[in-house]
Structure 1
Amino acid sequence: MKKLFLCCFALTMVLGCSNEKAGQVDEAEGFTLLQRDATTLEASYRSGGSSVRAMVTESSPNIIEVTYDFGQPIIGFRIDYNQGVGRFMPNGALDAAQARLINGLAEGLGKIVPEQDTQRTRIEDTAMRQTSFMQIVPVGEALSPYEYVAERGWTHISCTCGQQNIGGYTRQAGRGCSCNGGDNGCKGRCGQGCGITSTPACVGSTAYTQDCAKHDYGLGSFAAASDDYSFASNNCSCSGVGTCY
């Protein structure tokens, strides 16, 4: 009888431990959409035991709060479309693994958010634009908070690929995977570039500007392109999924 009791006790402990372990797995690998409505978009991307959770919410009319929570750091934005003012609010540096999480998050968002910006809600468009901006935030560098203002403006460049003035420099810029200057294509787009063999959907924006082109060529800072990413109007159309644009 004692032996039977011990066996039952051991089995109970094993099942209990198994259930406890299963309960600890609260996020699936890959991209997960957690919430999506008129005022909120929440999503996560998990890989290799690490994750990032993005929360985009309209705290008041035309004011969008955006956070990217890695546990450590947490990077936030406040985009005020009424005043045309944005704030970048980091509390630490990004590492290479976290940058890869952002790439996965951007890819996942690109599959659920309408491709054409005219079909997106403000929440969806902000989510795509700021996640695209997160892809150019420097890795392994101390990050400081700053404010950027839309009224300081941006300068659009031509959508047609060619040698263009990108603000004191002449470089190849414009739509197309072949418009690469020896690197990723779509030089000058305020969003993810496109490679020769990898042609992503239209994520981020289809705004092509001088500051974004300067950043693409290492001639300008990511901070200088902040207002372009958040506020610049889309001057170049998207030609569809899986195409160079």
Structure 2
Amino acid sequence: MTRNFVVSLASLGASALVFLGACSSGSSAEPEPATKAAGLTLETMTPTFVEGTFDDGAAALGFKSVEHHPRQVDVTVVAGKTELTMHLDYNRGEGEFDAKSGQLDQAQVGAMLRLMTALAGAVPSEDTTATMALGRTLNFFSVARPNEALPTFKFVAESGWVHLQCRCGYQDAQGYKNWMGVGESCGTSASPHCPGRCGVGCGPDNLGPTGNWGGGKYTADCAKHDYGVGSWGDASDDYLFAPPNCLGI
């Protein structure tokens, strides 16, 4: 992957230092300072704590992902006056989202995906629980409806998700039947060619050096969300907990 930005790091985990060393010029161990064109600044990165900012001119975001107990992570993303918090417990398969009825504009929603793409090129993809939670949360936020008050809700993985077939076909998404999966015959103008994918459009999957950033999963709740018959909140456990089933297609 070609990287057109430089990352500034105030604190590095050992694995990230090895990876990012190839991106800096010269023999100095010090990373090059971030530039405005880069957009991404990682201020702290340890196996349990990732914090930084992103500003590509279209929108500015602050983000933090903290594993405060093993496999229990708090992810915070700040967009303007709106602070979005996601509490994730991978041990219990439970989560809670709260934005205090704040909302995102279209530029801020789009920046979620661009930030995820930038992170995929800068850090080991889903290398830790903290980065996995951050990536999946950003992917979920990238399909939030702009200019609408964001609801507060809790969700559990035990409520289940239903994986779909990856290739385009007429499928049953828990009682809702339509064309789902990847293919030219699938989808509508709102979700062309890949309804059911938990993420924006048909990509990006397989980002980063280990190929784990992005959706890579097609589920019933994500399909119903794509077709406008299911809510954003109903798909939350699919985004945050369901394992990928369609990587590499």
Decide: shared fold, TM above 0.5.
yes
CA RMSD of aligned residues (A): 2.3
Contact 1:160–1:175 (8 Å) recurs in 2: yes
Decide whether aligned partners of structure 1 residues 49 and 211 sit closer, same or farther in structure 2, where only a CA change above 3 A counts: closer
* Bigger Cα Rg: 1
Hey, what does 2:177 align to over in structure 1? 170
Letter paired with 1:52:
L
Does 2:157 correspond to 1:150? yes
Hey, what does 2:89 align to over in structure 1? 80
Contact 1:208–1:235 (8 Å) recurs in 2: yes
Helix, strand or coil at the partner of 2:108: helix
Q: Percent identity?
A: 38
Deviation at 1:231, TM superposition (A): 0.8
44, 66, 70: which is aligned to 1:35?
A: 44
Deviations, residues 158-179 of structure 1 (Å, cap 9, x unaligned)? 1222111122222222235764
135, 140, 165: which is aligned to 2:142?
A: 135
How high is the TM-score relative to the length of structure 2? Answer: 0.75
Contact 1:44–1:105 (8 Å) recurs in 2: no
Does 2:84 correspond to 1:89? no
Deviation at 1:219, TM superposition (A): 1.3
5+ unaligned residues in a row in structure 2: which ranges?
1-33, 207-212
- Count of aligned positions: 207
Hey, what does 2:193 align to over in structure 1? 185
Does 2:180 correspond to 1:200? no
Letter paired with 2:68:
S
Contact 2:173–2:224 (8 Å) recurs in 1: yes
Q: How far apart are the structure 2 equivalents of 1:49 and 1:200?
A: 20
Deviation at 1:134, TM superposition (A): 0.3
Does 2:204 correspond to 1:220? no
Deviations, residues 173-204 of structure 1 (Å, cap 9, x unaligned)? 2235764444433321222322xxxx534343
Letter paired with 2:196:
G
Decide whether aligned partners of structure 1 residues 160 and 97 sit closer, same or farther in structure 2, where only a CA change above 3 A counts: closer
Deviations, residues 60-102 of structure 1 (Å, cap 9, x unaligned)? 1110000001241110100011211100010311112221322
Helix, strand or coil at the partner of 1:32: strand
Hey, what does 1:23 align to over in structure 2? none
Deviation at 1:128, TM superposition (A): 1.3
Which structure shows the bigger proportion of residues in helix conformation?
1
Deviations, residues 22-62 of structure 1 (Å, cap 9, x unaligned)? xxxx9734223333221122232213374101111101111
Contact 1:27–1:46 (8 Å) recurs in 2: no
Contact 2:79–2:104 (8 Å) recurs in 1: no
Decide whether aligned partners of structure 1 residues 83 and 170 sit closer, same or farther in structure 2, where only a CA change above 3 A counts: same
5+ unaligned residues in a row in structure 1: which ranges?
1-25, 240-244
